[in-house]
Amino acid sequence: MPVTHDAIGEWFAAIASLGEDTDIHFGCVDAKGAAPRWFEMSHTRFDGIGGFADLLRKNGHPALGSLPELKEGRTFGVMQLVRAWARYVFRLRPTYVFATLPEPRKTSSRTAVRVFDDDETARIAQRAKSLGVTMNTLLLDRITRVVRRQLEHAPRDVAWMIPINMRGPIALDRDTGNHSSFLEIGVREGEAETALQARVRNAIARAEHWAFWYIFKAGRAFGRMGRKLFMRMTIRGRPHWVGSFSNLGRWEPPGDGAAPWAWVFFPPPVPSQPLGVGCVTYRGRLGIALQIHASLTTDGAVAERWIDDIGRELLDG
């Protein structure tokens, strides 16, 4: 039976009440080289997959049906949850400090996008295949290489918050609602891509995504004010994650008339998680978008430089 309680949305409502932007930003690229047309979908009502599906259904793909579901880690044991909570609470985490960035310039953007054409996307997919990993693992590894170079002391582990789609075992009353949990994954310098992929799968096998899902669910006991106070401490504290890395995967939706050339998106960053990186492959073209939280810089040249470096790492690194 679907449930109506969107626990994740309530937490994002708490963040929004603190003045932070909680919108997921999607960009529709009508033709090669065109600037994106941006849409904002509130994370209080949608997760990444849900927001994208809603936009696709309204922009050329009305016949889009069932949404992607969780493939691995669909069940869990109580002791798995207990161990996952213990690992989270007692894990030592570094504080990430970004190197000095240019002074904010209020008139410039801190967002950058890159769309890889069909041939480039195929090259990236082939590179992942040759390494024996998924494109998602390759993206996470190569994007982290660029981010690590922006951090002081070049830490060995760079930790991300990675959303996990819980559709299938979890059903809300709207298929576009917040069905997301997350994993905390540290990408290690010099680690083989296959080892990184194995650690992500081990985290899922340990049911860590379920542990975080139930933490969110338990948040209702805090009440609206309790959630707001907790998030005030969390999002304005020391950054123990560099940001959120979200990959919506590959989409080949049935079309109705002319379809866009590509889509891009990024999740909302917050001060303690200052990077929002989103990836999506739409009709054979990979799009990546990056937003840097204003607490780091609002100099758009920084974001553009980083996205260019990400492109080089994926195609040549």
Q: pTM of the entire structure?
A: 0.94
The domains of the chain are located at 7-316
Task: Report the C-alpha gap between 8 and 13 in whole angstroms.
Answer: 9
Q: Which residue has the higher pLDDT, 164 or 155?
A: 164
pLDDT tens, residue by residue, 113-147? 999 999 999 999 999 999 999 999 999 999 999 99
Pick the CATH number of 7-316 from 3.40.50.2300, 3.40.50.2000, 3.30.559.30, 3.40.190.10: 3.30.559.30
Nearest to 265 by CA among 249, 252, 243, 280: 280
With helix as H, strand as E and coil as C, how does 224-272 read?
Answer: HHHHHHHHHHHHCCCCCCCEEEEEEEEECCCCCCCCCCEEEEECCCECC
Task: Report the C-alpha gap between 111 and 102 in whole angstroms.
Answer: 15
Q: How is residue 200 written in tokens?
A: 């992500």
Kindly list the distances between the CA atom of residue 241 and the CA atoms of 238, 255, 309, in Å, as whole numbers in the listed order.
9, 38, 21
pLDDT tens, residue by residue, 63-122? 999 999 999 999 999 999 999 999 888 888 888 999 877 765 554 557 899 999 999 999
